[in-house]
Structure 1
Amino acid sequence: MKKTLLSVALASLFATPVMAIEPFTVKDIRVEGIQRTEAGTVFSYLPVKVGDTVSDDKISESIKALFATGFFKDVRVEIDGSVLVVVVQERPAVARIAFSGLKEFDKDVITKALKETGIAEGRIFDRALLEKAEQELKRQYLTRGKYAVEIRTTVTPLERNRVSVDFAIDEGAIAKIKQIGIVGAKAFSEKQLLEQFTLTTPGWLTWYSKNDQYSRQKLSADQEKLKSFYMNQGYLEFNVESTQVSISPDKQDVYITINVNEGERYQVSSIKLAGDFSIPESEIRKLMKIAPGDVFSREKLNDSTKAISERLGQEGYAFANVNAAPEIDKEKRLVAFTVFIDPGKRVYVRRINVTGNTKTRDEVVRRELRQMEGGWYDADKVSNSKMRLDRLGFFTDVNVETPAVAGTSDQVDVNVKVTEKPTGSLMLGVGTSSTDKIILSGSISQNNFMGSGNNVTMQVNSAKTYRTYVFSYTNPYFTVDGISQGYDIYHRTFNAATTAIANYTTQSTGGALRFGFPIGEKESIGVGVGLDSTSITTYDDSPIYYKDFVRKNGDTNLSVPLTVSWVSDGKDSFFFPTSGAFKRAGLEVAVPGGDLTYYRANFQWQQFFPLTKTFTLMLNGEVGYANGYGGKELPFFKNFYAGGVTSVRGFKTSSLGPLIRDNGNEYRIGGNRRVVGTAEILWSLPGMDKSFRMGAFVDGGQVYGSSDRLDLGQLRYSAGLSAAWVSPIGPLKFSIGMPLNKKESDKSETFQFQMGTTF
């Protein structure tokens, strides 16, 4: 006969037994009521085994243990003779989780968040956890500024003791920042202070940046920016006293109020140096960005201590400690600083470790490093090593760390971690145009051929205007000292009839051998010699200027061009630089021995100025000059041209410069002098700083003939927007340019682009 010993529900977990029993020995254990749970699972949690002697306490302990599993909502223990019968009622399992009205988030993101709270398909259903899951889901919406979100949950029983959990979501509209107020500011206008903030009221770009949506993290960062702004203006004791964030009753508008205490403005009275200098004190003082008499600036003070640390790092003191201690005189509003310098021990590099170069050979990376193993640590050399690797263009990311060697105080390792990127460029095209009809073109270029660091390029273009067949090879380390070697072989056909240039055709076949010699960390000199054979075809409508040249020099000319170039590349990045300068000067001279003798000289200076963390100013200037010598004139096909995506955007390619009229037609013939300049503000979008950049530009340029006066008033100007995107299908460049002073004879071209495919 069965006897019920204990019947317990969750609300009466610790109830006393219905009746007491005499202790007995368990000969068997039987489990009843299970549907999904295995009997073995119950036995594993049950503290009673066959052969054990049980009593009231043992039975109570068994029930508590089974409840603690969370699998059951009711547990009952009975005895049947010497058999212990465990009767359970299982909690339902979650069979399905469904969402309706979910638009703001991806379903997988929300499902993962709910799983972390304990609600997931296949798990035991717990209503307490469901309420927690609702709060987590609502929290996810609050992070997106949707304070009006409403969530309704429905639990539907299913067969086999299962349930379906359905979340009905009314997301509502996103709450926007209606107003940001700063209370207590006297020295600066509220408008000037709000310019320091990332958070803002709705504007024409906030649909993308989401900066008009309240974020606690962004607000904290903005308060720190505000503090930095004040402290850089001398307000040493500035403090944010409180911040209030409120939302309108309809949960659509957010109001932010920040209460500040500006304090007094301080000047620097003196700066003292203390500690172990290790380098001359006079040199340290030159590194100070702030001096007695200046208004206090935390930024300048931090830059000073950083500069001293970096200078000590160049001497091998990798762990130098430089701190500035203030002494404040509140009555006189003066602050004196004592800069304590502790260089620590001089450190040398034990080992250089290179990782991440799955394709690029180890030697290709190491030959760019300026820090050597076994040598004294030099922070400047480590920084230059990173910059050189980044400028290769082989890697999307270069990270250099210098951890201390465990168990030592005077050794570090240099860990170089690179992330490979596609270094090849493949361009294939089939197109049509009103002038060229069918165009077949293609080029393949590999800047890191088989991981060797060598460049190989092959180009084929069947367009009617430019038909080219080119093969180029460059070995940047022909010698271990960094002397480069390269050569080019080409056959080019140019048909000017379909361009803005006067009608003629040239066919050029030749090659060149070139060498490069490094003369500094960022500078190199290049020399080369080539052989070129150019055949010229003129037509009835060709200008007399062209026909006279052919009559004097023949329709086929051989030239021996010698080239000399100087390059200084101090940009901080290969693709998207934000600081540094690039300078290049080149001279090409066709020497006696060929049919033509001429020279072409050009110079380019490109400078990048970081305006903020987001915006960069790029200034670029180019000049060129060419002429003939030794009684020979400059070949007309060596003239300079301007206009197009690489010079003055907004004007058609090669459409600027001297104009001739012949047989009722107008042609551009180029010139022997060229001036081109660009000013461009560049910026990247959040999260895309290494793949996408936009710009707002102003271009200017002109080409002058040998008989023209160099009149800068004849420059043509354009303005517009540009974009460069390293997209999944390859690098793309776009520009929309509008001429600012277009003349009647000028030809404009608003939209221009370049594209390719990486591999």
Structure 2
Amino acid sequence: MKLKQLVVAGLLLSSASLAHADTQSDFVVEDIKIEGLQRVALGAALTYLPVQVGDQMNSFRIAQLIRSLYGSTHFESIEILRDGNVLVVKVKERPTISNIIFEGNDDIKDEQLQESLEGSNIRVGEPLDKTVLTSIENGLKDFFYSIGKYNADVSAIITPLPRNRVELKLLFEEGESAEIRQINIVGNEVFSDAELLQLMELQFDTPWWDFLSETRYQKQTLTGDMETLRSHYMDRGYLRYDVESTQVSMTPEKDGIYVTLNVNEGEQYTISGVEVIGDLLGFEEYINSVMPLREGELYNQAEVTYTEEFIAKYFGRFGYAYPTVTTIPEINDEDKTVKLTLSVDPGKRIYVRRINFEGNSVTADEVLRQNVSQMEGAWLSEGLLESSKNSLSRLTYMEEVDFETVRLPGEEDKVDVNFSVKEQPSGSFNAGIGYGDRTKLSLQAGIQQDNFLGTGKRLAFNVSTVSYQRSVRLSYTDPFFTIDGISLGGSLSYSEFDAGSANLIRYNSKSYTVGVNAGYPINEFNRINFGLSFSDVELSRQNSYEQTDRFYNQFIDEDNPDAPIDYQTWLASVTWSRSTLNRGIFPTAGSSQSASFSVTTPNSDVNYFKMIWDSKFYFPLTRDQRWSVLARFRAGYGNGYGDINGNEQILPFTQNFTAGGSDTLRGFENNTVGPRGIQRIPQSITGPDGDRIFLGPESDQLRISRQSLGGNAMALGGVELIVPTPFVEEEMDNSVRTSLFLDVGNVWDTEFEYSDFRDLEVISTENALADYSDYSRYRASAGLSVQWLSPMGPMVFSFSRAIQDRVGDDVKFFSFNIGQTF
């Protein structure tokens, strides 16, 4: 800045002397000419002149004119001349920046550099003020010094171009960072050097394999480490702890740093008393009952801070959004005690004047307001605002949600609440082609929107065909059918399913279903949904199995046993769901649980019920929640009830649970985990007369299918460590997720009687007989999963290894599913 002032002062003096030489005496201006203009319009240049025709010119007016022209930032040099009574102003415009290039910068991103330059008004298309380049160079050098790069250099190179343009290049020579050679802590007696150094982020002399340690010297990191040490002592009663001095020395080659901290630990202090004063609004008893600070305990700075924040948040629940909570310590150095007085000033109760939304280019404000529990005109509640933020974040068409409160000028008790949202695609009209390791080639077309026309209503119409299924489905849901949040929806679908191509026992089915559903919100987190659907199912049997024949035999036509069977059902369902997840897509904190019960009505052709429990818990490990643990569990059970026409009802095998694949047990082929189909083959001999004589059931042989039949019970669980995706920016966390997982689970048949088959000979070479009623025959796998919500559609890649499998299981190392829209 000083250099800039000197340059300007020199130019002013030189210009002033020229003016004096050419204008020896005062004169009245009869005309004004400006010479040298190229990009600046004449009209614009005249507006910068504090002189008009008819004005008296003198040395003061000349100096004033020069200052005004330089202040416009358009001119590099100015010369004032007199031609008779004509004032002549000769200017040389500053060159215009045509291009800005950064070269050699690794520690500073181009975006950060560009933002820094724009702060100094250096951008493409603007005049170049060369006087600020030196300060920019020095500022960048200071940054490199702060991260330990003491040999760094920054040079600004200006290359002239035609038409008074220039190219600005910032050339960086960052050099190597200075490594910390040693950190010495002097004066500590209570805690050893090893204990204190373990707390610090800066490290030295680390083993080669500890690549996460920070051995580069960084001034800001050292400041943070000093604060960490202070907190460590203050949280353990050392109220007088202090860092008396800090020495940072450098090797002559500027490649090594030695850090010395001189500390004074002091003595431990205990709390002699705690008093809360001020206007507590009648909450004295509650605040004192939950107060973590107690007389006789060691002083703990963390608990003091927590207490202040707790009281402030508690008052915030009742509209006192800006309370002041101050802890006043009275230290007695003689007996090493401290009395704590917490002074509370709740301030005024704050009311919300207006709630505003920005960033929602698609979603209507009305839809967002439906998910906001804070009301206009009511007092401001931090709890309700956080609750509203979470509700908005759980919408699948919201990527980011934040809010701020803005105090109104002249209004001490009123604020506006501004919600800023970032939307993400919630579906689209599409036609597509995809390929998956389970679905093989797939085609699809339709429209699917969770936020149809910005109304928040969900609409889906899809037609798809994959290797094992062709289907068409239309569904519609209005999540706010009433102002109270009652939802109403319906669906209509038709499907043709080839089970053999889906790794299941061979059968074909055709079905159509029509249903309605309604939901009722219990509170912010809990909801109950009711549904009723009608289905018509046609089944074609291709193979006969012991477990399926019992179901087929209820409907078989004895005159045409190979004909397809047909049955109809009315299915009623109720589902309770709870969600405290922080996001609808790729959550990192909170939990979700759901329990559903569905049962066919007695007038249906088959009577059965199913129960499913599903839960997920996310535990963030870091403050930014980029590291998180997911624990999940899913269980289900189904069976028949009663009897129809003398037939005891069982769960239709088409309703069996299956497992294996990317959404259940990775590392196993889709739908292959669970009971296999059993074919019982009677044996016979040829009698003396040549007739076949069938032997008894004890001589039957078994053939076990390679394909799974599924089961009426399941239990699936897993743990995932969600980690930052390598080489992907943090801003992409909402669309890319990487996790290390452990999957465990099993599917079994509680109705299977192993004793009926265990003594029979198995002739199948495809599989072996097992006790399919044994729930303990679990499978397990571990691996790496990457999920990407790409513009082309969702992509899931899994690398897994089975660590517990069973005979006949189809294990796999890699699985993927890719969809593409165009």
Distance in 2 between residues matched to 1:316 and 1:111, nearest whole Å: 42
Q: 2:632 aligns with which of 620, 624, 640?
A: 620
Q: 2:784 aligns with which of 712, 721, 728?
A: 721
8 Å CA contact 1:76–1:87 kept in 2: the answer is yes
Secondary structure of the residue that 2:375 maps to in structure 1? coil
| Structure 1 residues 661-688: Cα deviation after superposition (integer angstroms, max 9, x where no partner) | 6657523221121111122233456444
Distance 1:732 1:303, change over 3 A: farther
Q: 2:708 aligns with which of 649, 668, 674?
A: 668
Letter in 1 for 2:637: Y
Match of 2:329 in 1: 326
Distance in 2 between residues matched to 1:38 and 1:434, nearest whole Å: 66
Could you list the runs of 5+ residues in structure 1 that have no partner in the other structure? 1-7
Shift of 1:273: 2.6
Which of 135-144 and 631-640 deviates more? 135-144
Shift of 1:546: 2.5
Distance 1:329 1:524, change over 3 A: same
8 Å CA contact 2:102–2:110 kept in 1: the answer is no
In the alignment, is residue 469 of structure 1 matched against residue 532 of structure 2? Answer: no
Secondary structure of the residue that 1:562 maps to in structure 2? strand
8 Å CA contact 2:469–2:495 kept in 1: the answer is yes
Secondary structure of the residue that 2:328 maps to in structure 1? strand
TM, length-normalised to structure 1:
0.82
Secondary structure of the residue that 2:784 maps to in structure 1? strand
Distance in 1 between residues matched to 2:253 and 2:30, nearest whole Å: 65
Which of 35-44 and 341-350 deviates more? 35-44
Distance in 2 between residues matched to 1:65 and 1:172, nearest whole Å: 44
Distance 1:67 1:589, change over 3 A: closer
Distance 1:737 1:84, change over 3 A: same
RMSD between aligned alpha carbons? Answer: 4.6
In the alignment, is residue 344 of structure 1 matched against residue 344 of structure 2? Answer: no
Distance in 1 between residues matched to 2:552 and 2:793, nearest whole Å: 43
8 Å CA contact 2:144–2:174 kept in 1: the answer is no
Distance 1:16 1:60, change over 3 A: farther
Secondary structure of the residue that 1:461 maps to in structure 2? strand
Secondary structure of the residue that 1:303 maps to in structure 2? helix
Letter in 2 for 1:474: T
Q: 2:810 aligns with which of 724, 747, 752?
A: 747
Match of 2:700 in 1: none
Shift of 1:594: 1.5
Match of 2:528 in 1: 525
Which of 96-105 and 231-240 deviates more? 96-105
| Structure 1 residues 372-419: Cα deviation after superposition (integer angstroms, max 9, x where no partner) | 333344443333223222222333333334444544444444444433
Match of 2:500 in 1: 497
8 Å CA contact 1:734–1:752 kept in 2: the answer is yes
Correspondence 1:174-193 to 2 at 5 A? 174-175=176-177, 177-178=179-180, 181=183, 183-184=185-186, 187-188=190-191, 193=196
Distance in 2 between residues matched to 1:517 and 1:99, nearest whole Å: 59
Q: 2:615 aligns with which of 605, 630, 633?
A: 605
Distance 1:280 1:500, change over 3 A: same
| Structure 1 residues 514-545: Cα deviation after superposition (integer angstroms, max 9, x where no partner) | 121222332122222111122222224x5343
Distance in 1 between residues matched to 2:383 and 2:324, nearest whole Å: 17
Secondary structure of the residue that 1:385 maps to in structure 2? helix
Letter in 1 for 2:744: G
8 Å CA contact 1:465–1:494 kept in 2: the answer is yes
Shift of 1:463: 0.7
Letter in 1 for 2:346: P
Distance in 2 between residues matched to 1:367 and 1:307, nearest whole Å: 29
8 Å CA contact 1:589–1:599 kept in 2: the answer is yes
Distance in 1 between residues matched to 2:803 and 2:431, nearest whole Å: 35
Secondary structure of the residue that 1:424 maps to in structure 2? coil
Q: 1:388 aligns with which of 387, 391, 394?
A: 391
Match of 1:633 in 2: 650
Letter in 1 for 2:743: D
Correspondence 1:507-518 to 2 at 5 A? 507-518=510-521
Aligned identity (percent) is 31
Distance in 2 between residues matched to 1:317 and 1:168, nearest whole Å: 51
Distance in 1 between residues matched to 2:370 and 2:43, nearest whole Å: 64
Distance in 2 between residues matched to 1:244 and 1:87, nearest whole Å: 57
8 Å CA contact 1:426–1:756 kept in 2: the answer is no
8 Å CA contact 1:206–1:212 kept in 2: the answer is no
| Structure 1 residues 618-665: Cα deviation after superposition (integer angstroms, max 9, x where no partner) | 222222111112121111111112222222222222222224566575
Distance in 1 between residues matched to 2:257 and 2:431, nearest whole Å: 52
Which of 588-597 and 747-756 deviates more? 747-756
Letter in 2 for 1:625: Y
Match of 2:576 in 1: 566
Secondary structure of the residue that 1:637 maps to in structure 2? helix
Distance 1:192 1:703, change over 3 A: farther
Letter in 1 for 2:715: V
8 Å CA contact 2:497–2:508 kept in 1: the answer is yes
Distance in 2 between residues matched to 1:460 and 1:677, nearest whole Å: 32
Which of 138-147 and 280-289 deviates more? 138-147
Distance 1:113 1:520, change over 3 A: closer
Distance in 1 between residues matched to 2:251 and 2:362, nearest whole Å: 57
Letter in 2 for 1:703: V
8 Å CA contact 1:268–1:294 kept in 2: the answer is yes
8 Å CA contact 1:649–1:735 kept in 2: the answer is yes
In the alignment, is residue 420 of structure 1 matched against residue 432 of structure 2? Answer: no
Q: 1:271 aligns with which of 271, 274, 286?
A: 274
| Structure 1 residues 259-313: Cα deviation after superposition (integer angstroms, max 9, x where no partner) | 5444444444433232332234332234324434544433333333333333333
Which of 165-174 and 621-630 deviates more? 165-174
Shift of 1:490: 1.4
Shift of 1:453: 1.8
Q: 2:741 aligns with which of 665, 675, 697?
A: 697
Could you list the runs of 5+ residues in structure 2 that have no partner in the other structure? 1-9, 557-564, 643-647, 680-702, 753-770
Q: 1:647 aligns with which of 651, 664, 671?
A: 664
In the alignment, is residue 400 of structure 1 matched against residue 406 of structure 2? Answer: no
Distance in 1 between residues matched to 2:774 and 2:310, nearest whole Å: 46
Q: 1:678 aligns with which of 718, 736, 739?
A: 718
Correspondence 1:139-154 to 2 at 5 A? 147-150=150-153
Match of 1:487 in 2: 490
Distance 1:269 1:143, change over 3 A: closer
Letter in 2 for 1:549: F
8 Å CA contact 2:612–2:636 kept in 1: the answer is yes
Distance in 2 between residues matched to 1:366 and 1:154, nearest whole Å: 54
Secondary structure of the residue that 2:554 maps to in structure 1? helix
Secondary structure of the residue that 1:740 maps to in structure 2? strand
Letter in 2 for 1:560: W
Distance in 2 between residues matched to 1:574 and 1:74, nearest whole Å: 62
Count how many residue pairs are aligned between Structure 1 and Structure 2. 744
Match of 2:799 in 1: 736
Distance in 2 between residues matched to 1:307 and 1:679, nearest whole Å: 33
Which of 134-143 and 114-123 deviates more? 114-123
Q: 1:546 aligns with which of 525, 528, 548?
A: 548
Q: 1:440 aligns with which of 424, 443, 461?
A: 443
Q: 2:596 aligns with which of 555, 563, 586?
A: 586
Match of 1:5 in 2: none
Distance 1:711 1:282, change over 3 A: farther
8 Å CA contact 2:401–2:421 kept in 1: the answer is yes
Distance in 1 between residues matched to 2:161 and 2:405, nearest whole Å: 60
Distance 1:460 1:260, change over 3 A: farther
